[in-house]
A and B are shown apart, each in its own frame.
Chain A
Amino acid sequence: MKLNRHISTLIFAAVLLLLPLFIKNPYYLSILVFIGIYSITTMGLNLLMGYTGQISLGHGAFFGIGAYTSGILTVYYHLPSSVAFVAALILTAIVAYLIGVPSLRLKGHYLAMATLAFGEIVNIFLNAAVDLTGGPSGFGEIPRIQFGSLILDSELKYFYFVWVVFIIIFILINNLINSRVGRALRSIHGSELAATAMGVNAAQLKVQVFILSALVASVSGSLYVHFVTFISPTTCNIMFSILLVMMVVVGGMANIWGCILGAALLTILPEYLRVFEDYDVIVYGFILLLIIMFLPGGLSQGFAMAYSTIRRGRSKA
């Protein structure tokens, strides 16, 4: 099983490496970049939601903190993107700690409300602090990421960069899930009462995983801002936070591969639904509804079911 895990990661990395041989259109490559960025955010959120069972409707705000900190520090203070990136992580950790300690005492709907409120507060701040953030219209001309003489200025270069970051975070989180800490996280989801009776410091661990998932969201926010080179508050508003939750649920809770599926579907779907023009939102909602109704375990569950059906079919023949 352990070997299996590494092999599937390797196969996935190989597919990514070869993908640009077949997809050369910059538009499609940019879609793949966005899928990579959102897959990273979703992975972090899944650690909190799917594995630990703690909902957050404010993760768009952490994405925003990462994006804005990277943007502001590189544009207005001319700092290198790497320094801005680290500063964004530090700021995110501090904010996540301050929010996490009081709000993770809450459970279920109350936790959802608290994190929703946090996301809204951040968004109001981004709109109001015009001098710092450019207000509702945001700001642009954010520089590309640069490594020495290598500037990540094309879709292809950024594609590789984002997915390398993805693979690194994927491996780290996958290791974490299959460890003592990962089991403790899942035990909190299963029964917090029994988890504490087993010696798991649930209160502390929940805050730690909240910070961790916020940091992952911040990383993806920084990646986003250096690709799009523009940021405004609508990028990280409540709707985006809810979209992230949808990506986790549609992909499959507590399934790390589901993050890619969820992020991919919800990124690609609106692009294809443009043919429906004004009715795209209705079709979009309907498709999501069907998925949740018939695949409560998300797309990853659908894949697992299809796989076992095929195998059963084969062994019969």
Chain B
Amino acid sequence: MSDIILESLNIRKGFGGVVALDNLTFLIARNTITAIIGPNGAGKTTLLNVVSGMHAPDRGTIFLNQKTISGLKPHEITRCGLARTFQTAQIFGNMTVLENVMVGRHVRTRSGIISSALRLPRMRREEPVTREKARFYLEMVGLKDIADKPAASIPIGSQRLLEIARALATEPEILLLDEPAAGLNTQETRQLGTLIRTIKELGITVVIVEHDMELVMDISDEIIVLNYGKRIAEGKPVEIQTNQEVIDVYLGKEE
């Protein structure tokens, strides 16, 4: 296995006249935490959407484990071992917390309409495993006690954790987190940092788009800085903190 898990080659994505991603090329090393930062409108969320298949890129190729994934549908990319969360938590409000995570097991199970309706052996075999694994991931993010609550009724902080548990249940090799700390208080953010480290220890590569700089500098191995769809800097947190161009972009240039 190569050390590079995700590779993006000359990705371009425009919306009408706006170029959201402009010939973007980057590599993500296996089993690292990489943060993607940049001012509003830099193309961070578009990048996640293109990588996860929600948007097709206009040009360029994305490789996951040397396999081309650009052009695949989102559900196919998930099957390849990539999972994600959303900027505005997209939980299934019509289901319980546990059932939400059980949906995450969809790609790792196979019962179809017929074996489900007739409760054939495959379905009977899969169901307890699905439930058990879902409980495992809920425990990992610390939501085990509210497993049977309706997902719509839990606070936003818990919804974010639920999204992470659900994404983990797909057993990804790489996990994309879109602003997971948005709406969390300081203590919750700290716990989130610990959780992301635990996820890395499981051997999962994490890519995180985040505005909370304290969290980013604390947990990241690598940081990629975007501005107007272009990569303007890349490096370790200390390097980014002292990079003049990044400082200019964030604080404005002195004339």
Q: Is the CB of B117 within 8 A of A184?
A: no
Q: List the one stretch of B77-85, B195-203, B204-212 in contact with chain A.
A: B77-85
Given the complex of chains A and B, what is the CA–CA distance between A90 and B236 in angstroms?
62
Report Cα–Cα, A52/B107, bound state, in Å.
19
Q: What residue in chain B is nearest A169 (Cβ atoms)?
A: B117
Asked whether B54 is an interface residue with its Cβ less than 8 Å from the other chain, the reply is yes
Q: Which residues of B contact A254 (CB under 8 A)?
A: 94
Contact across chains for A181 and B113 when beta carbons are under 8 A apart = yes
Asked if A180 and B79 sit within 8 Å, CB to CB, the answer is no
Identify which of B5-13, B96-104, B184-192, B222-230 touches chain A: B96-104
Report which residue of A173, A181, A190, A199 has the largest number of chain B beta carbons within 10 angstroms of its beta carbon: A199
Which listed segment binds A: B16-24, B27-35, B118-126, B213-221? Answer: B118-126
Complex Cα gap A176–B114 (Å): 8
Cβ proximity bits A157-197 to B, threshold 8 Å, 1 near / 0 not: 00000000000000011011001111110110111011111
With A175-B116, A190-B91, A194-B86 known as contacts, the answer to whether A181 contacts B75 (CB < 8 A) is no
Residue-wise, chain A 185-214 has the 8 Å CB interface mask toward B (1 for contact) of 011011101111111111000001000100
- Asked if A191 and B91 sit within 8 Å, CB to CB, the answer is yes
Q: Are A180 and B117 in contact (CB under 8 A)?
A: no
> A196 vs B106: C-alpha distance in the bound complex, in angstroms?
10
* Chain A positions 215 through 258: 1 when the CB is less than 8 Å from some CB of chain B, otherwise 0: 00000000000000000000000000000000000000010000
Count contacts on B: residues with CB < 8 A to the other chain: 41
Do the beta carbons of B118 and A194 come within 8 Å of each other? no
Q: A172-B118, A183-B99 are in contact. Are A198 and B113 (CB under 8 A)?
A: no
A43 vs B78: C-alpha distance in the bound complex, in angstroms? 32
Chain A interface mostly helix, strand, loop or mixed? helix
Q: Which residues of A sit under 8 angstroms from B123, Cβ to Cβ?
A: 179-180
Pick from A183, A197, A201, A212: contact of B83, CB below 8 A.
A197
Whether A198 contacts B106 by the Cβ 8 Å rule is: yes
A198 near B116: Cβ-Cβ < 8 Å: no
Cα of A212 to Cα of B114 in the assembled complex, Å: 11
Q: How far is the CA of A172 from the CA of B119 in the complex (A)?
A: 9
* Distance of A271 from chain B, by nearest CB (Å): 34
Q: Are A176 and B113 in contact, with the CB atoms below 8 A?
A: yes
Q: A199 CA to B106 CA in the complex, in Å?
A: 6
Contact between chains at B170 and A199 (CB < 8 Å): yes
Question: Are A175 and B117 closer than 8 Å at their CB atoms?
Answer: yes
| Shortest beta-carbon distance from A195 to chain B in Å | 7
B93: Cβ under 8 A from any A Cβ: yes
Given contacts A175-B118, A197-B52, contact A180 B126 (CB under 8 A): yes
A179, B90: Cα distance in complex, Å: 21
Q: Are A200 and B92 in contact (CB under 8 A)?
A: no
Query: Which of A179, A181, A193, A202 has the largest number of chain B CB atoms within 10 A?
Result: A179
Provide a sorted-by-A list of 5 A–B residue pairs whose CB atoms are within 8 angstroms.
Answer: A181-B111, A183-B103, A184-B103, A194-B86, A199-B79
Q: Which residues of B contact A (CB under 8 A)?
A: 52, 54, 73-75, 78-79, 83-84, 86, 90-95, 99-100, 102-107, 109, 111-113, 116-119, 123, 126-127, 130, 151, 163, 166-167, 170
Which chain A residues have a beta carbon within 8 Å of chain B's beta carbons? 172-173, 175-176, 179-184, 186-187, 189-191, 193-202, 208, 212, 254
Ordered nearest first, which 7 A-B pairs have the shortest CB separation?
Answer: A190-B92, A199-B107, A179-B116, A194-B90, A199-B78, A196-B74, A191-B90
